[in-house]
Amino acid sequence: MEDGVETFHEHDVTVGDGPLAVPGTLTLPDGAGPWPGVVLLSGGGPFDRDETSGPNKPFKDIAWGLARRGVAVLRFDKVTFAHPQNPVATMTEEYVPHAVAAVTLLQDQPGVDPARVFVLGHSMGGKVAPRVAAAEPSVAGLVIMAGDTQPMQHAAIRVIGHLASLDPSPAAQAAVEQITRQAAVVDGPGLTPETPAEDLLFGLPASYWLDLRAYDPVAEASALDVPMLILQGGRDYQVTIADDLAGWEAGLGHRANVTIRVYEAADHLFFAGDGPSTPADYLKAQHVDPAVISDIADWLITR
């Protein structure tokens, strides 16, 4: 709310068609436009359109905050959330078809400037955002929030080791050993489409890992001639400055149309806080730092 009066309105939409279409929400500023628009892509896993994490809804925060500042927003349930009975084979299949359909849908909305529709991806959504823009050349630019560049199997070892150090126990050590063993299979030369999913991280099929192994998000982004805003939380233990942001900086930091910002107090969900971030933090009701949303809005509006 601003002064007790909302400055935007929402309605439900359907993204994609056929049996794997998913529900979404279109958030539009009041007035006639023309507005820039942005499609939101959530992180890895079966997230709903709000990227609900415990009591928190970071994508709802972002959508409402941007719409109040004059940006049209489309967010949608991931196919893995809306259709859990239909497992996806690759990261590309998990994200790209619905993301491209969402861009087209947003471009067709009255009041939206079709030449200024962007993609905002968080976590794995940020990692895959360059692939979406490569698939849909009309994407005007990218906002990458805590996008990982380190191979996910390596990040899994790092994260599980960090969590085990916070709460050492035989169970934690067993988890470290299991993740390390599964990551070695993902990394190994013996990974084939026939490798059983139970031997691999997170129960994802071999096809998913083969697609990930062949994908370099920084190289994909470097091949694009669109502006990018890359945001990173200083307290993020899942996607870190040293292990992930360094990749974006090395590949894109020299480009005039790339802006990189670090929010020292922010965790992975861009909640501001103090001290080391832990999984328990996500279970406390919080909101995305308004300064982050304001910076994203300013960047989108001025492109």
DSSP state of 66: H
Q: How far apart are alpha carbons 148 and 90 in whole angstroms?
A: 17
Tokens (6 digits) for 1: 């709310």
Active site residues: 123, 236, 268
Q: Give the sheet arrangement for strand 228-233, strand by strand.
A: 8-15, 22-29, 72-76, 35-41, 112-122, 142-145, 228-233, 258-263
108: closest CA among 31, 20, 15, 22? Answer: 15
Greatest alpha-carbon span in the chain? 61
Is residue 120 within 8 A of residue 296, CB to CB? The reply is: yes
Cα separation values, 69 from 7, 27, 102, 271, Å: 8, 12, 21, 20
97: closest CA among 105, 62, 143, 220? Answer: 105
Burial 158-197 (b: 16+ CB within 10 A, else e): bbbeeebeeeeeeebeeebeebeebbebbeeeebeeebee
DSSP state of 167: S
HSE-CB at 100 with a 13 A cutoff on CA atoms is: 15
**End-to-end Cα spacing for the chain:** 26
Is residue 96 within 8 A of residue 129, CB to CB? The reply is: no
